[in-house]
Amino acid sequence: MTMKRILVAVLLAASWTAFTAPMLRAEEAKYELKAAATMKDVLQESLGKRVIVRLETGESLEGTVMKVGDTVAHLAKLSGRDFYDAVVRIDRITAVVFKVRS
């Protein structure tokens, strides 16, 4: 092979790796829900992490899960609401949205 062909082959291999490696890593991360999981369990797994909780009323709150009690959860540093935290009833949460892949 000529030097030019070798260089082209190396550049193609490098660009293929650069584009496909992040996609392969993104597919590896996944969330596995336990069969008997409750909303409380999901929140406890998210302690210290940012989540969005959707309430029965349709309102969404985004914040960091600080503590999870038997009936309520504390969300700190609410998004879009400087200086505010929230305590929400766990039985009023219809969904918890959280980041799994980067």
**What's the pLDDT at 33?**
81
Angle at 40 between CA 58 and CA 83, to 5 degrees: 60
Query: pLDDT tens, 28-66?
Result: 677 788 888 999 999 999 999 999 999 999 999 999 999
| CATH annotation of 39-98 | 2.30.30.100
* CB-CB contact of 89 with 20 (8 Å): no
Cα(68)–Cα(73) distance, integer angstroms: 4
Percent of the chain at pLDDT exceeding 90: 58
Residues 6+ apart with CB under 8 A from 75: 51, 53, 61, 62, 63, 64, 65, 66, 85, 86, 87, 88
Domain segments of the chain as ranges = 1-30, 39-98
Handedness of CA 41, 45, 46, 47 (dihedral sign): positive
